[in-house]
Each structure stands twice: as structure tokens, then as C-alpha cells.
Amino acid sequence: MTSMFRPIAFIFAFVLIAGCQSVEPSATSDRGPIQPASAAEALAIFDGVCGASLPDFSSAARLMPAFDVTNRQSTGTVFSTTRDLSLKILDGPGEGRTCSMVFSTIDSAAQTRQVFEQLGPFTDGPSGTGTLYRGRNALVLFRPAGGSGASSYYNIRLLSER
């Protein structure tokens, strides 16, 4: 009889945890609907904010508006006003100071990986897929982050230079 309640308890726990997820800004802006980014657009924004603000990302906030990443939330996450993506500078244990970007794209997983392999040759590992950022001493971690309809989400992080 206990085994019958395990699936129900699991479903209840999953629903409870799912209800705790943060709410993202509306999918429209004063410029119209927010669209998924192409992998090439996402890479350009990642390079233009995260890569350009190495070694410690101190200039990242100043660079974001050039890419329409201006919708700052109280959590520190900054959302694009035109594309379904966000950036955040993290400073914590484990990875240390990190520039993190989450984006959606309608490009296939293979296309997205191919575009982001311009950063360097990816190696698959337990923490995701990684490479050194354009030959510098800064690690890039790239991982799928789910999907919604026709688009897929990815998280790409650039750790500060060591």
C-alpha cells in the first residue's frame, strides 16, 4: 500500500516545487512581442557583454543597454526588451564571479551548439559542456535549460579569468 502513495507524493512534491519558480516579465514590451534569439544573436550578446567585460565583469552592466538588455529586476537579473534572454552577474561559492545568460532560441540543438563552438572546442563533462573562452583562461559552461513550445532554453556561463 505504501508503494501506491509514492507516485502521488512525488507528483505533489513536483507541483509544489514548480509553483516556487520565479515569474519572468511579460512576453511583450513597448517594442512589441519579445522573440527568441537566434543562436548567432545570443552569441553576439554573450560576447558583447560577458566576453567584453572580462576579466571580472565589472563593466557588464554598462555594456548591456547596447544590446537592449535593460529590464532590471530586484533579483539582479536583467532582461532584454526585444529578445527572450536575460543576463546576471553571479558572485558566489563554487564557480565564483560569473556572467550568466539564459536565452531561448528556435534554432536546433545542433545549430546552437555549432554556433557556440566558435568560442572554442566543447568538451562534455558532468557539469555540462565546456571550453575556454576564445583561448583565454576563462571557462565557458553551456547547458540546455528546458524548452517551451517551439523554442529551447540554454544557459551559458562565463567564469571570471583565473
pLDDT at position 128 is: 76
Count CA atoms closer than 13 A to 65's CA, side-chain side.
Answer: 3
The predicted model scores a pTM of: 0.78
pLDDT at position 93 is: 76
> CA 52 to CA 12: how far, in whole Å?
44
In this prediction, the residues of the chain whose per-residue pLDDT falls under 70 are 1-32
pLDDT at position 146 is: 84
> CA 151 to CA 85: how far, in whole Å?
12
Per-residue pLDDT reduced to its tens digit, 95-135: 889 999 999 999 999 999 999 999 999 998 877 789 999 98
Return the SS3 of 26. Answer: coil
Q: Provide the 8-state DSSP code for 83.
A: B
